[in-house]
Structure 1
Amino acid sequence: MTEHARDIAAAVDALRAGQLVGLPTETVYGLAADARNPDAVAKIFAAKGRPANHPLIVHLASAEQLDDWAREIPEAARILAAAFWPGPLTLILKRQRGVPDAVTGGQDTVGLRVPAHPVAHAVLSAFGGGLAAPSANRFGRISPTTAAHVREELGSSVAMVLDGGECEVGIESTIVDLSRGVPVVLRPGRVSVDEMSRALGAPVFAADALDSSAPRASGTLASHYAPTTPVRLLDVPALLAETVAAAQAGRRIGVLSRTLIDDAPAHGSVWLQLPNDPVGYAHGLYRDLRRLDQCGAEVLLVEAPPRSIEWQAVNDRLRRAAADATAAGEGLPKA
């Protein structure tokens, strides 16, 4: 048996024993537990410090398991699964009888997806059932995109962490609610509204903040994906002015930009630059936020991305990461 096969087997044994495993997916690393075992699922909430009514996403080996977990499955769900699974898309559906309340947060719906990572697929195939696997970090903090991030965040609360390299996508899956008759995106991600609309030949709608009937879903709280250091989103002139003022005052700040600013002051600040395209930016976002969060800065300044639809998922994550600073009056720049 190869080392890889031994690691997979050990992970499956740990999951069957009710333990937690750090699991790589194409989006972010998940904190996996047997979704049919309420005691194991409870360990996820304890390790993350996650509210008990916050639902989890169940990961499956293939779309053939859909009927084991969901009922009243609309044709739209079958079409989207065929088009985007394995991949970064979560479907919210009416749950089957027997799906634990611990997974659904007590709701009559369940989130399901088939991840597109060879390690996750190997574990799920060998395990044979569904794995509840939210991001493997403390609740509300930056999601992990490497195995080292998981170990830093959760330490000994995880039986083992499978190393699948750096996550390809870098942000969490798109979540689309199909439990109420029309498809509604509750969390944007790599799979866009336009792509889903084309696959269905019908409109897919964006969530309405005032829609009180929408199911609760992972990663949709106002403050989420946040470093411990306050985050502010600024346009380039404001960002440059802040860095100049910080340098003059001897303050240490972290800066995450898309634009190369040649005359930016180097003293007192740590600069990281991400690609000026939404796919490349998303891939490195959590990695670089985590780096800046560890640099000893008193605030992290992020160049606000464009407001175009292509940047919707990135803007969603940054808006939630900066929510606490926004609530204190440090909000987004004027459009």
Structure 2
Amino acid sequence: MDTKIIKIDKSNIDKKLMIEAGDIVKSGGVVAFPTETVYGLGANGLDENAVKKIYEAKGRPSDNPLILHISSIEELDDLVEEVTDLAHMIMKRFWPGPLTIIFKKSRIIPNIITAGLESVAIRMPSHPIALELISLSGVPIAAPSANTSGRPSPTNADHVVEDMYGKIDMVIDGGSTGVGLESTVLDLSGEVPTILRPGAITLEDLKEMIPNIIQDASILHKDVTPKSPGQKYRHYAPKAEMILFTGDIDDIVNKINTSTKELILSGKKVGIMATEETKDKYEDGVVIVSGSRRKRETIASNLFKTIRDFDHADVDIILAEGVELDNIGMAIMNRMTKAAGGKIINL
């Protein structure tokens, strides 16, 4: 399959090219497109055959549900059984934006979208290219991240091309994404509002409006039957083994330095995922800076790119600094824990 790559300026959208992309979705094709979180791999969410192409391109297990993307709240009426007052309040505050909400699904939602669950995950992205594509296609777009299943999510078009060229119809190159981590997933389909996946909309943000909100126990622990995308299977994996270090940052730096020397002596090429505050404290290894500990949103934005950079550096092992678990730190550590396959050293 020939994959067409088009460049779109989000500040000056080429309507003719976007109509072409929308027509591909309408006709059952697959288009990768930028959102404010990561690039999505989009197809008509009401067309089972089109959605199958997403799973095939990604190599994604069929029991891992997908998120439907819409361009207006009115589109919810046909897709869900009920929109509660709480849901309306949350959407008014956080939509469009990096928040996915789980509702009880309507009968028109194919089972392939929900992996047989009675609930469906829906979000309205804020990225202008994403909104334009959804609007022009005239259907809700099913769109997981546009990467090979298990690999780091793509935050620019080059990442998408690396994983998806020849497998899908089109890639819309809209530049780098902003948030860099997938959306927060909030389950409103049960009795207790629950965060199933942390993201840029944090527990602290949501608790202001939902005092009884809880976080799912699987976020930093053992995986469970998926009610949300990203809850099952190893995700974000680099080609090399990755070990995550947590605790006091000085202890982390000392341990990584010691471990690096030992690994180099054993013949390993070592990568160190550092931060701006620690980069000069490492004596050996391939040091790549993910962002600043004082501005952890920069770590979130760069995390998946950093993992791919280590792949390109052909390291044998990655030693990574953890961050504090409050605010967006929870989302960062959720992704890093999965990338490391649960290999964590607590100091």
User: Normalising by the residue count of structure 1, what TM-score does the alignment of the two structures yield?
Assistant: 0.92
Match of 1:231 in 2: 242
How far apart are 1:207 and its partner, in Å?
0.9
Stretch of structure 1 that moved more, 288-297 or 219-228: 219-228
Q: Are 1:100 and 2:110 an aligned pair?
A: yes
Match of 2:286 in 1: 269
Say which SS state the counterpart of residue 302 (structure 1) adopts. Answer: strand
* Residues 28-67 of structure 1 aligned to structure 2 (within 5 Å): 28-67=38-77
Distance 1:245 1:63, change over 3 A: same
Amino acid at match of 1:292: F
Contact 1:256 1:274 in 2 (8 A): no
How far apart are 1:16 and its partner, in Å?
1.0
Distance 1:273 1:81, change over 3 A: closer
Contact 2:253 2:282 in 1 (8 A): no
Distance 1:211 1:184, change over 3 A: farther
Say which SS state the counterpart of residue 289 (structure 2) adopts. Answer: strand
Give, in whole Å, the separation in 2 of the partners of 1:13 and 1:244.
55
Distance 1:214 1:54, change over 3 A: closer
Give, in whole Å, the separation in 1 of the partners of 2:289 and 2:269.
14
Match of 2:4 in 1: none
Match of 2:315 in 1: 297
Distance 1:78 1:214, change over 3 A: farther
Say which SS state the counterpart of residue 138 (structure 1) adopts. Answer: coil
Q: String of CA shifts for 1:11-69, please: whole Å, max 9, x gaps.
A: 11111111100010000000000001100000000111111121100000011211121
How far apart are 1:197 and its partner, in Å?
2.1
Match of 2:330 in 1: 312
Root mean square deviation, CA, Å: 2.1
Give, in whole Å, the separation in 2 of the partners of 1:292 and 1:214.
31
Match of 2:302 among 284, 295, 313: 284
Match of 2:229 in 1: 218
Q: String of CA shifts for 1:251-291, please: whole Å, max 9, x gaps.
A: 3111111232435224x534334221221110011111111
Say which SS state the counterpart of residue 89 (structure 2) adopts. Answer: helix
- Quote the sequence identity (%): 34
Give, in whole Å, the separation in 1 of the partners of 2:338 and 2:309.
18
Match of 2:217 in 1: 208
Contact 1:247 1:265 in 2 (8 A): no
Amino acid at match of 1:305: V
Q: String of CA shifts for 1:51-108, please: whole Å, max 9, x gaps.
A: 1121100000011211121112222111111110000000011001111111111111
Alignment gaps of 5+ in structure 2: 1-11, 246-251
Match of 2:24 in 1: 14
Stretch of structure 1 that moved more, 247-256 or 117-126: 247-256
Give, in whole Å, the separation in 1 of the partners of 2:223 and 2:280.
47
Q: Are 1:169 and 2:187 an aligned pair?
A: no
Alignment gaps of 5+ in structure 1: none
Give, in whole Å, the separation in 2 of the partners of 1:208 and 1:243.
33
Match of 1:26 in 2: 36
Contact 2:204 2:327 in 1 (8 A): no
Q: String of CA shifts for 1:141-195, please: whole Å, max 9, x gaps.
A: 1000001111110111111111111010000000011111221000000001221
Give, in whole Å, the separation in 1 of the partners of 2:222 and 2:273.
33
Give, in whole Å, the separation in 2 of the partners of 1:198 and 1:261.
36
Say which SS state the counterpart of residue 87 (structure 2) adopts. Answer: helix
